[in-house]
Amino acid sequence: MASRSLLRASSAVRHARRYRQPVSIRFSSTPSKDVPKDASTAGQTPARQQSWLTQKVKSNPVFYTIFLGLARALGYGSPQQLANRRALHLYNHLCAKRADEEADFWKNECALPPTFQSWFTITNFHVWLLTVRLRSLPAPHGKQHIQGLIDHFFQDVEERVRYVLQPGLLPPRSPSPQFYTQPSSLPPPDTFPSPAAYAKAQKRGRAAERVIVRQMKILKEQWVGLGMSMDLGLLRGDAELAAAVWRNFLGARGAAGVGLPIESGIKADETRPAFRRSVNLVGGAVDRVDKLNIDAEEMKDDQSGVHDFPPHESDRYISYPEIMSALVTYVRREAQRLEKVADSSIFGPRTVGREGEGIKALRWGPIRQ
């Protein structure tokens, strides 16, 4: 299921709609401060005082009918709009912050670098794990919630990509993660010698639109690849699931061999250098695979931070089976736990201001128990 946000071409119009979020209709405002309290109302929530606009709309039956008809035509209050609004809260509270919540495990045990790419992989993993539960919702709620979750995920990802490649242009709408360092914006214009120098620095610090589009295509391929490999692991067994974990979260380290320390008295083989990393031949800038020198490409440092451990750290591979087992157990345990969560906790309240209720029952448990 491809995300609609990836099928639309990037343009300036999308920047103007970056804060667009589904909202529902309500005819109330903030609670009044003048509501009297007595013994009969003690402990109860004060009634909300209707705003002037709400009173005006309700006082005119014709205007009220026209307003509701227009709202229905725009999709406000529709099942799809409610699913989109709920999916936004599920994404923000369950998926977007998960890399920060288990940062020690991902950075130290899995040796994932503190980069946006690592954050995307971890968030993509939990979006998939939540999607597994959403598939069991009755039709059409399952499809609507999954589509809304994926849309919000890729809208957030695109905004973060733009903020990384075009710092200072637009901040991401969801909470800024601590997992990776946000790029710094340009200094104020008055710190430059001339307006032309500021404009030049601003242009130099922002990537071209084609770079962002290409990066989004690569991230879409990674989203599809991780989802398919994890789905296959759920069906075929823990061995297949552990292989997917090794490829996606452990960087496929050691795929070309494990370099060991050279024993004293044994001369090193200078003609066979140790492999640094595995090369992804799908996506990116690899156009002609038949003309690619794999050995030379594997020895290049792509600045991603994901590469084979050097020989003096080869003992880190010993913990890999245990890490794969921990993540496979985590997937099975969370999938079974979410299966027991009632659908009402996923749907959540249908009123504005209470969308966060029911999230507690869905929160992920620790990876290691």
d(CA 330, CA 245): 11
What is the share, in percent, of the chain residues with pLDDT greater than 90? 37
Residue with tokens 């991780």: 226
What is the share, in percent, of the chain residues with pLDDT greater than 70? 68
Instruction: For the chain, give every domain's residue range.
Output: 64-172+207-362
Q: How far is CA 30 from the centre of its chain?
A: 32
Omega prior to 114 cis, within 30 of 0 = no
- For the stretch 57-106, pLDDT in tens is 778 777 777 766 666 666 565 778 888 889 999 999 999 999 999 999 99
- For the stretch 234-266, pLDDT in tens is 999 999 999 999 999 998 888 877 877 775 444
d(CA 85, CA 21): 7
d(CA 95, CA 92): 6
Report pTM: 0.72
- For the stretch 286-334, pLDDT in tens is 566 667 777 777 777 666 778 888 888 888 999 999 999 999 999 999 9
